Amino acid sequence: MLIMKPGISIYFISYLLISIVSDPLFSQDKTIISPYISLQYFKNSDDHRYLQTTLTYSLNRMEIPLSGTEISFYSGPAGKDLLGTALTNEKGIAAFDLSESISLTKNSDGLWVFSSDFAGNDTIETVRSEISIRDVKLEMILSQVDTIRTISLKAFTSRNSKEIPVSEEVIMIYIPRMFSLLPVGEAYLDENGTASLEFPSDLPGDSEGNLTIISKFEEHPAFGNVEVKVVKNWGLPASNSAPVAHRALWTKTAPRWMIITLSVLLTGVWGHYLFAIISLIRIKRESKKQKKP
């Protein structure tokens, strides 16, 4: 029968305990993240195009961005020709500019095939996203007859130098507001790829009545995100400057109701502290009196 010395047995048991405890911890350190990747295509009024990739992962039902990761962008008929790389920012977004110097080749269906991927590492899995885009030309013309203001739209693609109208599609019309875009209407393209709608006349603009009018395809499965912007003085002149005596949360002087409410609350809190201190002093004095013969 094998008899172990006490020192050796304690060492052996300690080694087993450390192994049992450290093994789950080591496994947690090697947990592999399965990220989500999405690729978007954007085109603005100046025919400026760019790709945007968002890389995130889910943790406790929250979407967490992956920043500082290198994203590779590809194009070509099969979406495998490297365009370049970019790093994700603090929001997990990486953008790549499709400048005019970059030659984009279409596939047999007349589509641009783009893809982006993250090569992965020891803790994050490899992911890839791909989209196919058909180049579309969006035009917007603003006209006014008497008091009627009209937005005229035209959308078309081209193949073999021939215009092909985009029909049965919806184009949204917006104007920028302080924190978001305000939708003011939507236009439905007819068989000729054209649409028109009347612009409202009661929207506030800047001090000169200027408004930025935006028409756009949004997250279109074939066109991506395409927009056109035009600045026009179709708004009501408005002054956004606050008066000198104006009190608000964003001014140097807080609103009176806030000052009064805070003063009452602080008075109540410090009043309770003062009452407690006075009560302690009185209790101490009463205890001394009771101790005297």
- Sign, CA dihedral 183-185-191-192, equals negative
Q: Residue for token digits 């009463």? A: 286
Q: What is the C-alpha separation between 92 and 77, in angstroms, rounded? A: 27
Q: What is the C-alpha separation between 224 and 216, in angstroms, rounded? A: 10
pLDDT tens readout for residues 46-88: 889 999 999 999 988 899 999 999 999 999 888 889 999 999 9
pLDDT tier for residue 1 given thresholds of 50, 70 and 90 = very low
Average pLDDT over the chain reads 86
Determine the residue type at 168. Answer: E
Output the pTM of the full model.
Answer: 0.70
pLDDT tens readout for residues 238-280: 765 655 566 777 777 888 888 899 899 999 999 999 999 999 8
What pLDDT score does 25 carry? 47
Query: Would you state the structure tokens that stand for residue 119, as one six-digit string?
Result: 């090569």
Q: Angle CA(62)–CA(66)–CA(72) in degrees, nearest 5?
A: 135
pLDDT tens readout for residues 167-214: 999 999 999 988 889 999 999 999 999 999 999 988 888 888 899 999
| Domains of the chain (ranges, CATH numbers) | 36-133 (2.60.40.10), 137-232 (2.60.40.730)
